[in-house]
Amino acid sequence: MHVTSGMDEHAVVIARVADNQWHAVADDRVVGRGDTSRRPDGRIFVSIDAWHGAVFDRLAEAMLADLPKPLYTVVDEAELDLRSHWERAGFTIRRREWEYVVPTDPQVTGLGSAPPPADVTIVGVGEAQEGPLRELDRVIREEVEATVGWQEMPAEVLPRPAGVTLADPSKYAVAAQSDGYVGLVRVAPVTRRPRIGLIAVRSDRHRRGIARALLAHVLDSLHRRGIETASAEVNESNGAAMALFEGVGARRASSNLELVLR
C-alpha cells in the first residue's frame, strides 16, 4: 500500500487489491484502477484507468515498483495524453500497428479474378475440420516463433488457457491441398465491422497466391452478405501484409502503439 497526495490536495491511497489489480482511493472513493494481463507469449501488459493525471502517475509508480520488467502496454496513437502518461513512466515505443479499412466489393479490390492455385481448394469460414486446422495452427506458430517471434503478430491477443492456441475454429477459412491444410484466415464477426485477424500460409507454400486467394474468398463472402468493409491490423514492419492489403484498396484508418518498459 502506498499513501501520497496531489489530487486536489486529498490523500490518495494506492493499494494492490489482487494479484493483477490496483486501486487508487481518495475520500473512500475509487478514483483510479490499474490492471495487468499475461499474454499467451508470456509478456505482461499493463493498463491504467484514471480521470486525473496525478492519479495515473501514482498508480503507475506503485505498479511498476511491484512488477517485473519488461512490461508492455498498447495505446491508440491518437490518444496523445495517454501516451504522454506512459512515456513519463518510462515507456518507449516498441512497434506500430496500422488498422486498415478493407473494401469487400470485388470491383473495388480487383480480387474477382484471384482464384487459388489449381491444386488448392478454399474451405469456407466455419467449414474446416478441427483436427487438421489445429495442426496447421501449430505449424504456423512454430514457424513464426522460429523467425520473427509471435510477439510480432497483432497486439490484441486474447488470453487463452495453457496449451490452447486456437480458441474458436468456427472463425477460420483454410486453403487445402491433398496433403492437408496449408493456409488460414481468421475472421471475427465484430458488430461494427468484421475483423480479419490473421492471414498465414505455411512457409513452404509461400509465393503461390494462396494468401491472396484466401483474402479474396472472405471478402467476397462478406460482400455477398451486404457488408461493405472489413478491418485488419498489420504490424508496420510486415511489408508483405501491408502490400497485400494496400494492393486491394485498403486504407489506413488509425494506428496503435505498443510501448515497453525494459
Q: Quote the pLDDT of residue 155.
A: 46
Q: Are residues 189 and 62 in the same domain?
A: no
Asked whether the whole model's pTM tops 0.85, one would answer no
Q: Are residues 105 and 211 in the same domain?
A: yes
Q: Taking the CB of residue 46, how many other CB atoms lie within 10 A of it?
A: 24
Q: Are residues 103 and 172 in the same domain?
A: yes
| Residue segments in the chain with a per-residue pLDDT below the cut of 50 | 9, 155-159
Q: How far is CA 109 from CA 5, 106, 174, 204, 206, in A?
A: 56, 5, 20, 27, 21
- For residue 166, the domain's CATH number is 3.40.630.30
Q: Quote the pLDDT of residue 135.
A: 93
For 132-174, the pLDDT digits (tens) are: 999 999 898 888 878 766 666 654 444 455 556 677 889 999 9
For 120-133, the pLDDT digits (tens) are: 999 999 999 999 99
Q: Are residues 77 and 130 in the same domain?
A: no
Q: Total structural domains in the chain?
A: 2
Q: Is residue 244 part of a domain?
A: yes
Q: Quote the pLDDT of residue 2.
A: 55
